[in-house]
Amino acid sequence: MKINNILLMFILITSSFYGQMVWIQKANFPGAPRAYAVAASVNNMGYAGLGWVSGSSGGFRDWYQYNPTSDTWVQKASFPGNNNISSGCFVANNKIFIACGNDSSFTPLPDLWEYDPIANVWTQKASLPAVGRYGLGSFSANDSGFVSCGWSAVNTWLRDLWQYNALTDKWTQKANLPAPARCGPAGISAITTGYLACGEDSVSGQNQQLWQYFPAQNKWAQKNNLTGNPRFAANGVFAVSKIYVGTGQEANGNVLNDFWQYDTIGNSCTQLNNYLGGSRTVASSFVANGIMYVLFGYDNSNVFHNDMYMLTTATDLKENENNCINKQNAVCYKNNILFIDCIASGLYCIYNTFGQAIMQGNFEENSINIEQLPIGIYILKTNNNIYKFYKP
């Protein structure tokens, strides 16, 4: 089929978790490469920092804000605490909380710090009234923070659960995880409930388990095991009734790059495209505007990273001449020109299938000339809209 005889249309999609998931590389974190860091989001702005890199005498205390709209990072007030390595992180009352973790001498701490994004101020809060820990699982539910599991020392696993009330600065012990004690689970916040995924337990080692906690009933429920190899130090987030879990480390030390989507309604698992950053463990993640961002971690070669990728949605290319001619909320391809009917002008960026930006700039009169692109599949981003297209 000749190019000038092709008329292709792809449907406008918003930033939601439906359709085919694709990875796109975003601006690198401006600080040093690291792992064992934390990340969170408030009001659709990302925040990340802390952590550690092999060979350093202590952990990092830097703290940055990420703006998804401009794809830029801005440095904020540095973290003043000592628990800056392998900490927990949750959001409550529009504040970010850093819980427990190791200090620079790798001593587990019970400390809790609050970050106010508006005031750009850190405040120490009531410490966890239990043993200090690192490699814990943490999540938010019903505007409360929860911390569970972790190590209090090497080969000393935990399974207790604690709830933090940000308004009263009080901790309350809740039902223990009804499973072997563990470290390195992925804590997943899901509005009114929370999850712990995978981890290394004291009986069978790395696992694929998924546990859901219901705060209103103070009860745990085991879900179907996640597909993929058993692992710990994985990444996990929740968006639009789906859980996304991936990367991490196997018992033999192999670092993984696979990612999985778990449907909380259908209780089923689907494999996604592998993480484009490559193998990664003890990385960090956050969700902003319904989109997952993954950053940091180290790979199979023990190389630490400060790159970041987002997992977003695109649709497969579909031929539909009528829709393209009518230009009903559509983007059309013809004769090496992308016609964008829904946006008159603005910024655009085209990515290859490795998530790398290969063409960007301003477009005018609803069109972008893509003659210079070789044959292949591409991702087009205009403002907050994502499209997938094939250039024959």
Give the least confident one: 164-168, 191-195, 359-363.
359-363
Burial class of 108 by CB neighbour count within 10 A (0 to 12, 13 to 18, 19+) = buried
The class level of CATH for 3-14+315-391 reads: mainly beta
Burial class of 162 by CB neighbour count within 10 A (0 to 12, 13 to 18, 19+) = buried
Average pLDDT over residues 312-327: 47
Which residues does 110 contact at the CB level (< 8 Å), separation at least 6?
A: 100, 127, 128, 129, 130, 131, 132, 133
Q: Do domains 3-14+315-391 and 21-313 have the same CATH topology?
A: no
Residue-level pLDDT at 163 = 98
Is the per-residue pLDDT at 5 higher than 50?
Answer: no
- List 174's β-bridge partners, or say none: 161
Separation of alpha carbons 51 and 102, rounded Å: 10
Give the least confident one: 65-79, 134-148, 266-280, 352-366.
352-366
pLDDT single digits (tens) 344-365 = 667 888 888 667 788 888 887 6
Average pLDDT over residues 56-85: 94
Q: What is the pTM of this model?
A: 0.82
Amino acid in the structure at residue 323: N
Q: How many residues does the chain have?
A: 392
Chain-centre distance for alpha carbon 186: 11
Is the per-residue pLDDT at 62 higher than 50?
Answer: yes
Which residues does 57 contact at the CB level (< 8 Å), separation at least 6?
A: 104
- The H or E element spanning position 322 is helix 321-326
CA dihedral 16, 19, 23, 26 (to 10 degrees): -30
Is the per-residue pLDDT at 10 higher than 70?
Answer: no
Domain residue limits, the chain = 3-14+315-391, 21-313
Backbone angles phi, psi at 322, to 5 degrees: -60, -45
Superfamily of domain 21-313: Kelch-type beta propeller (2.120.10.80)
